[in-house]
Structure 1
Amino acid sequence: MYLQLGQVPTVVISTPRLAQEILKTNDVVFADRPTTIASQMLFYKAQDIAWAPYGSYWRQMRKICTLELLSAKRVRSYSVIRDDEIKTMRKCLDSSAGRAIVLRDVLVQMVNDVICRATVGDICKDRSTLIDVLFDIMRAVVAFNMASYFPNMQFLNFITGKKAKWLNRQKQLDVILEDILEEHRNHRSSGGHDQEDLVDVLLRIKENGDLDQPITNDNVKGIILDMIIGGTSTSSMTLEWAMAELMRNPEIMKKVQAEVRATTKGNTITEENIQNMHYMKMIVKETFRLHGPPLLVPRISREDCAVDGYNIPVKTRILINAWACGTDPESWENPDSFIPERFENNSINYLGSDFELLPFGGGRRICPGITFGVGIIETTLANLLFHFDWELPNGLKPNELDMTEAIVLSNLPKNPLEVVPVTFTVSL
């Protein structure tokens, strides 16, 4: 579908077949990112990884991310942080047993703490403030803005005061991030760190100075933002939707809890246990399919390209509708229904090679944090299902649960899920 959004020519891709044309067949042509208000203001003029233009700098930083920041070994090292924060979450739920809670608040707090501890460590005194400022800025930049579609009308941002407000918040953000870098430099020089967090890794690489393109503090700050924003919203969103679908489908809830509790020996869920929770993994996949990010981060064509017999000119913005691909009736039977069993004898996965399921994108620009994010989601969901039974408040019946979506920063339930946790006692 072609749209002329103001002065921005845009093509929307809504089927797995055409998503493959963009993300695989012509991946290099569509590997660039458009210049946006968000990328320029929030991500230090696109000096991060997610918004950086395709080229030698992006390839260098992507390599660092893959080999250093989010390698399998380093992700495993963060399992201690993840398990620690999940224990804290369980204590919070235990203290609320028998009372209605807003599950989103608990999940966002837990995921935020895992991501922040892995990224900036325990020595950051402004973690909560950092999250608040980040999300305030993101809410501002995703709101409708006329100048985004009419680039020659940027003066509107000055007249309305938006530019001044954004710059003020960005300055506040920069002060926090600069303090984080200074704290880490001081901590490293004193030899006081036991384990490297992601900021330590980036500072070490920066100081070694053996890169093709030296990186600056702004590069480091941009990547910090990628990690926190990219990890927090998607993981907590997926967990809330998974629990909402389970509350709406009691038989599925009963089946997956039986698997989780039969697989776990003792009172602690291990990585080996999770690998044997096949039905729970199907539930995660089905949640990604129905409730993943609706649109992938935009791309822009680097040259003219023919796709499916149509010419897409250079500098055309490309939006891939991942939700439409995940509910495409030619690819999925009963596409609007939550049926985890559809993955029982189905090899489709979310690693970017199957274009019917694209929660993390695909091609060169696929999210590098898949292992980290899925690890948080699976471990958290397993603990929620193992340690607690769940009820709906105020006599609400499963079929009365509101599943209306509100598309803001992510594809969230319009009304946050309210549930009543009931502590489950393990019989040893």
Structure 2
Amino acid sequence: MVNLWEQLKELSASSTSLITSIIFLTLLLLLTTTLIVTSSIPKGGGAISPPGPWRLPVIGNLHQLFNNSSLPHRHLGDLARKHGPDVMRLQLGEVPHIVVSSSEAAREVMKTHDVVFASRPFLLAADMMAYAGSDLVFTPYGEAYKHLRKICVAEVLGAARVRYFRPIREDAVADLIRRMAAHGEATVDLSKELFRLTCRVACGTVLGKAEEMDNGFIMKMVGTTVDVLAGFRLSDLFPSLKFLPVVSGYKAKLRKLHVEMEAMLDGIIDDHKQKRATRAAAAGGGEYREDLVDVLLNLQESGDPHFKLTMDNIKGVTLEVFLAGVETSATTMDWTMAEMIKDGRVLRKAQEEVRQVYRGNQNVDESNLHELKYLDLVIKESLRLHPALPLLFPRESREKVEICGYEIPAKTKVIVNAWAIGRDPRYWAESERFLDCSINYRGSDFEFIPFGAGRKMCPRLLYATAIVKLTLANLLYHFDWKVPDGIKPENLDMTEVFTLVVGRKSSLCLIPVAYDTVIS
């Protein structure tokens, strides 16, 4: 993996610059047109509209979102505290939005009225994503989505499949520990190492081989995703301007990236088909461990009488599972280690637990991870404070509905601020909050929804938690951790930055000290 971590940072920085430039050009164009649009959510029958901040003609609340130095989830949290602690109205261009910032409102959106809000999620340039409509994230809710999700949850992302890929996770983590032990007591960029680890696990799980890390596959996917999320089309927020061209050069660039990605995926799938044919001809030519592409091809061949997996479905799910498993997991581990380093008491307590459970073992495998109760607590607290996706994938109301006493018209975009809910003092007031507490992140407790909830909940939860817990247990078991000279642990930089997720702005650079009863 050559400079992949640095390239990702550069891509993220360039996307931020692109967004700023495009927003300025957009506002300039809009303010020089004679377009007159309404600046409020339609009301009818005397229904109560959600509260919200003041708006300007034409652009609505866009100026308040982009003329602020704080990150979107923090700024939306601040606005919600002033204008709508449960539900807040925003007008972004012509498109009405509501921002949900309480567990009660989140429950109504993602459970009580889940079907109403389970339509295609709204995202800038979403319809220009490769295979949008053939994957789980961008497919509109309906029969096709239900069949695709059922197949993925049961056959691709379920507990049995997670257990099947256990050797890949354990081998990758063991290799990380060996390399860090050989490195000696020198400062390491742990953020970079964790990203490298999740790349390797994702490649092994999805593609069956780790060498794809070095041939540009990951960089192409990450680069395409960054460019799509950085893209901005006027018709997303101003549907009446569909006649205007997209940002100059943007659509052509995306098409070029999609062609390149299509060629890469076709090559990977063709390679799998050739190997499958060779094994079939060999008639029992040795043991073979399937990867997720093999699983999807098997499902396509076996055929569901109610739903036929297309090649676009296979490509879309492959990309989605891959992207969901790289930076989100690495970011969660990075935040968790940083929080433990800042609080030495928590770090020591977590180390004592894992060293007690695995006492006398050379390696930490997954066999006894269920006994690490305190580590579970630490991971939950990290997810509460630092969800990788603080603003869950937005939804859209399919019909008029009432949320917390407010009328929400059809076609309203809904943003759930999981970060604000996770820090709401109404639900979270005690230290070590998850100790002797049944609250979990599986979508039933709406005050804690880092993976979402309902029909659009992240289906990759089991994959993510498996690699996160195994890796952290190994890091705690095999090493004591020190910060470089001149830095006090309590002063560790915890500034956030937006890349594909919300991570730490500074790399977590630490000194691993081998635990001498385990590593010589």
Q: TM-score, normalised to structure 2's length?
A: 0.78
Q: Tell me the CA shift for residue 152 of structure 1.
A: 4.5
Structure 1 residue aligned with 2:370 = 275
- Asked if 1:360 corresponds to 2:460, the answer is no
Deviation by residue 1:99-122 (Cα, 9 ceiling, x = unmatched): 222211100111111112111112
Per the alignment, do residues 387 and 123 of structure 1 end up closer, same or farther by CA in structure 2, a change over 3 Å counting? closer
Indicate the SS of the match to 1:259: helix
- CA distance in 1 between counterparts of 2:117 and 2:494 reads 34
Aligned pair partner of 2:397 in 289, 301, 304: 301
Deviation by residue 1:56-107 (Cα, 9 ceiling, x = unmatched): 1111111111110012111101000000100111122123332222211100
Structure 2 residue aligned with 1:286 = 381
- CA distance in 2 between counterparts of 1:124 and 1:151 reads 44
Indicate the SS of the match to 2:433: helix
Aligned Cα root-mean-square deviation (Å):
1.9
Q: 1:41, 1:170 within 8 Å by CA — same for their partners in 2?
A: no
Structure 2 residue aligned with 1:48 = 135
Indicate the SS of the match to 1:160: coil
Structure 2 residue aligned with 1:190 = 278
Indicate the SS of the match to 2:91: strand
Per the alignment, do residues 23 and 210 of structure 1 end up closer, same or farther by CA in structure 2, a change over 3 Å counting? closer
Structure 2 residue aligned with 1:93 = 180
Aligned pair partner of 1:164 in 248, 252, 270: 252
- Greater Rg, structure 1 or structure 2? 2
> What is the identity, as a one-letter code, of the residue corresponding to 1:13?
V
Per the alignment, do residues 89 and 4 of structure 1 end up closer, same or farther by CA in structure 2, a change over 3 Å counting? same
- CA distance in 2 between counterparts of 1:270 and 1:250 reads 25
Q: Tell me the CA shift for residue 274 of structure 1.
A: 1.3
Structure scoring higher RCO (CA < 8 A, sep ≥ 6) equals 1
Indicate the SS of the match to 2:97: strand
Structure 1 residue aligned with 2:13 = none
- CA distance in 1 between counterparts of 2:123 and 2:245 reads 14
Question: Matches of residues 25-424 of structure 1 in structure 2 within 5 Å?
Answer: 25-34=112-121, 36=123, 38-122=125-209, 125=212, 128-143=215-230, 145-147=232-234, 148-153=236-241, 158-191=246-279, 194-265=288-359, 266-292=361-387, 293-333=389-429, 339=431, 341-424=432-515
Q: Tell me the CA shift for residue 135 of structure 1.
A: 1.1
- CA distance in 1 between counterparts of 2:251 and 2:102 reads 37
Q: 1:103, 1:416 within 8 Å by CA — same for their partners in 2?
A: yes
Comparing 407-416 and 313-322, the one that deviates more? 407-416
Q: Tell me the CA shift for residue 233 of structure 1.
A: 1.7
Per the alignment, do residues 210 and 24 of structure 1 end up closer, same or farther by CA in structure 2, a change over 3 Å counting? closer
Q: Tell me the CA shift for residue 180 of structure 1.
A: 0.6
Per the alignment, do residues 353 and 125 of structure 1 end up closer, same or farther by CA in structure 2, a change over 3 Å counting? closer
Gaps of 5+ in 2: 1-87, 280-284
Deviation by residue 1:327-380 (Cα, 9 ceiling, x = unmatched): 11100106xxxx4x2211111000000011111100111111211110110000
> What is the identity, as a one-letter code, of the residue corresponding to 1:60?
H
Q: 2:120, 2:141 within 8 Å by CA — same for their partners in 1?
A: yes
- CA distance in 2 between counterparts of 1:96 and 1:149 reads 51
> What is the identity, as a one-letter code, of the residue corresponding to 2:417?
N
Aligned pair partner of 1:8 in 70, 95, 98: 95
Q: 1:38, 1:138 within 8 Å by CA — same for their partners in 2?
A: no
- CA distance in 2 between counterparts of 1:394 and 1:214 reads 59
Indicate the SS of the match to 2:127: helix
Structure 1 residue aligned with 2:12 = none
Deviation by residue 1:189-210 (Cα, 9 ceiling, x = unmatched): 1117702211111111112233
- CA distance in 2 between counterparts of 1:364 and 1:2 reads 24
Q: What's the % identity of the aligned pairs? A: 39
Indicate the SS of the match to 1:352: coil
Deviation by residue 1:138-158 (Cα, 9 ceiling, x = unmatched): 222222625232345467664
- CA distance in 1 between counterparts of 2:247 and 2:232 reads 13
Structure 1 residue aligned with 2:52 = none
> What is the identity, as a one-letter code, of the residue corresponding to 1:133?
K
Q: Tell me the CA shift for residue 211 of structure 1.
A: 3.6
Q: 2:125, 2:231 within 8 Å by CA — same for their partners in 1?
A: no
- CA distance in 2 between counterparts of 1:371 and 1:9 reads 34
Per the alignment, do residues 128 and 189 of structure 1 end up closer, same or farther by CA in structure 2, a change over 3 Å counting? same
Structure 1 residue aligned with 2:21 = none
Number of residue pairs matched?
Answer: 423
> What is the identity, as a one-letter code, of the residue corresponding to 2:381?
E
Q: 1:120, 1:199 within 8 Å by CA — same for their partners in 2?
A: yes
Per the alignment, do residues 255 and 17 of structure 1 end up closer, same or farther by CA in structure 2, a change over 3 Å counting? same
The list of structure 1 runs, each at least 4 consecutive aligned residues, that deviate by more than 3 angstroms after superposition, is: 34-39, 123-128, 151-159
Q: 1:126, 1:176 within 8 Å by CA — same for their partners in 2?
A: no
> What is the identity, as a one-letter code, of the residue corresponding to 1:299?
R
- CA distance in 2 between counterparts of 1:356 and 1:211 reads 39
Deviation by residue 1:174-226 (Cα, 9 ceiling, x = unmatched): 11111011001111111177022111111111122334232221111000011
- CA distance in 1 between counterparts of 2:496 and 2:320 reads 25
- CA distance in 2 between counterparts of 1:418 and 1:156 reads 47
Comparing 298-307 and 125-134, the one that deviates more? 125-134
- CA distance in 2 between counterparts of 1:322 and 1:149 reads 23
Gaps of 5+ in 1: none
- CA distance in 1 between counterparts of 2:211 and 2:192 reads 21
